[in-house]
Chain A
């Protein structure tokens, strides 16, 4: 049985956050959702998360910037980046900042299993 984790999902696409939160809830995890980077940072400041799924392309603040902020606030958090675009520079930056993985949408949720297992 997988350990119960707290997961923060950050995406400006409501369909994405909604379906993902349902899936993680179904899996038995604790889920929080943020619609952009600023909101995510506020939430991380309030409480800690085990895992953050952050979309790279977001209005206002992109995922990589948000990742940097969040990581600064909560260094222990594991981050998985998501993107529908092959934004090579941002992907490379995210990897260098210590992202666990970068998933290209549509997500292969099964690949999430090993990551959750590490928690």
Chain B
């Protein structure tokens, strides 16, 4: 599995930080270790040197003391006296005297650090012994003392005629460790006997037990060769009963420092002691007594400072490791966090969330990258937005295109129908134009006819009056004159009717509606008209019509106009049929003639004002009729057949609509 970037950074930082740290620590550790050991060994060496000096001084002092005492006249005299007694050259009472004279003094001598005192003849006979009185008379060179250090030191003193120091060994006669100093007793330049002191071990051991500068585990070891063993000759700190009891084998690890010392070497080293503990030891040879001196200390104590140091070193190293770890983790996080944020941003943006911003204030490269990323996202958003706009525009254009296509199709369709439509429109326009022209024409006619009509009525009235007067005067006169007066009268009426038509047409006033009986009106109108005898009027088909609202005058005029037309259509006589019927809330008034009929081509125009097919007539009659019908909310239709007659049907509503 590949390491994550954070772990890589962490690991590399650790490696970079810890390798030098480890190397430096190791070097420092080693240097400190060496210096420390050297320091400890130097300390121990100095201590051993002074200890050895103490021993040497001690032995030298005892040696000097012995030399001094051996030269005192008291010793010589005591020597001579005791020798004589032994040789029985002196009487027994002399011995008592000797004892009295010398024994206290000799005993006093032992106070200089000795425990026993012996006097020898030159041949080796023991002439005096302070404590071992039974030895007196025995020769030191005899078998009893053979091999003892006392015998050895006697021989050496006798041989050298000087003060000699023995080794420190178990003294067989007493089975106790002992060391002796022997010195010749001189008379002048002649040796007359020998004197020997047994060293007080307490004095010797006193130095051994001085542990100052040796801490809690350090000790001074005095050792001697004992065959194949090395024997400890002084009490040990860790074993007070060790003297001449504890032994170690030559060549064993525990024997090494002492072995070196007994080989008269000086040195120092690390070893294992009799307890099996690691020690640092310094060894020296104690020549006067032929002993090995070893000063040693447990390494645990000797190097305890170093142990502390090492502990501190480990603590510091550990803390440094932790610190480095923490810093590395922080650095790694500070580096990976923005990367993770970037990663998240990339995923979010990839998922389409273009409003996502990493948003960092960092000034490093990752910060720059984040800002560049944000900028990229922003640009992407803009581009997407403009793309959306584009898409929308495309969609709109497509829509427009579709519409255009549809329009084109429609246009094509229109163009196909255009001709028809144009024709239709042209027809409609022509009709409209005709109507407009007609309307204008009518308006002009209306104005003109109104004023002309009124003005004509006065002269007509005067003419009428004149005719009336002439009729009064010439009533019973000439028949031809009477006929002409009638003609005048008739023509005045006709002129007046023309004027009335014109005026009615031009006024076109709103109907004054009053309830009335249409059948009655029809009958009255017919009876008021002058109908020729060759016309038969049929009014048998009159339905029962309820009273309804209409303008009586206008309706009268309507009837008169229609009947007039009917009569004019039947110049040679015929049938005039008037009918009423009620149908679907309307009243139908039909006026039927058996006249010439209206040609189909003219039927559309007969209601147009001023249109007439007759030789005489204003062409306003049907137009007026149509106006009246329309102002009453009705309709007028015409059915006609050439040569058979015409039927006008007026349909009027019985109930006027509100308003």
Contact = CB atoms under 8 A, between A and B. Distances in A.
Interface of A: 13, 15-16, 19-20, 22-23, 26-27, 84-86, 88, 104-107, 109
B468 A109 contact: yes
Given A23-B472, A26-B472, A84 B458 contact: yes
A15 B464 CA distance: 11
A16 B461 contact: yes
Given A105-B457, A106-B496, A26 B469 contact: yes
Interface in B457-484: 457-466, 468-469, 472-473
A26 B473 contact: yes
Given A84-B457, A84-B458, A23 B468 contact: yes
Contacts of B507: 86
B133 interface: no
* List of 7 A-B pairs having minimum Cβ-Cβ separation, nearest first: A19-B465, A105-B461, A84-B457, A106-B464, A15-B462, A106-B461, A106-B460
A16 B462 contact: yes
B458 A105 contact: yes
B492 interface: yes
A15 B459 contact: yes
Contacts of B496: 106
A19 B465 CA distance: 6
A19 B462 contact: yes
B503 interface: yes
Contacts of A104: 457
B464 A107 contact: yes
B435 interface: no
Contacts of B463: 106
Given A106-B460, A106-B496, A22 B469 contact: yes
Given A84-B454, A86-B503, A107 B461 contact: yes
B591 to A, nearest CB: 26
A106 B454 contact: no
Nearest to B473: A26
A23 B454 contact: no
17 contacts: A13-B458, A13-B462, A15-B459, A19-B468, A23-B465, A23-B468, A26-B472, A26-B473, A27-B472, A84-B455, A84-B457, A85-B454, A105-B457, A105-B460, A105-B461, A105-B464, A107-B464
Q: Is the interface of A mostly helix, strand, loop or mixed?
A: helix
Nearest to B495: A106
Interface residues of B, number: 21
Nearest to A27: B472
A86 B504 CA distance: 10
Nearest to A57: B454
A84 B472 CA distance: 24
Q: Which of B454, B463, B464, B469 has the most CB of A within 10 A?
A: B469
Contacts of A23: 465, 468-469, 472
Contacts of B503: 86
Interface in B157-216: none
Contacts of B472: 23, 26-27
A115 B394 CA distance: 95
A80 B503 CA distance: 23
A96 B358 CA distance: 102
A16 to B, nearest CB: 6
A6 to B, nearest CB: 19
A106 B469 contact: no
Interface string B482-499: 000000000010001000
B477 to A, nearest CB: 15
B460 A19 contact: no
Contact of A84 (B461, B465, B509): B461
B466 A106 contact: no
A20 B509 CA distance: 32
Contacts of A86: 503, 507
Contact of B465 (A20, A27, A85, A88): A20
A19 B466 CA distance: 6
A106 B457 contact: yes
A22 B263 CA distance: 208
A106 B497 CA distance: 11
A23 B469 CA distance: 5
A19 B472 CA distance: 12
Given A84-B454, A84-B457, A105-B461, A19 B492 contact: no
Contacts of A105: 457-458, 460-461, 464
Contacts of A15: 458-459, 462, 465
Contacts of A19: 462, 465-466, 468-469
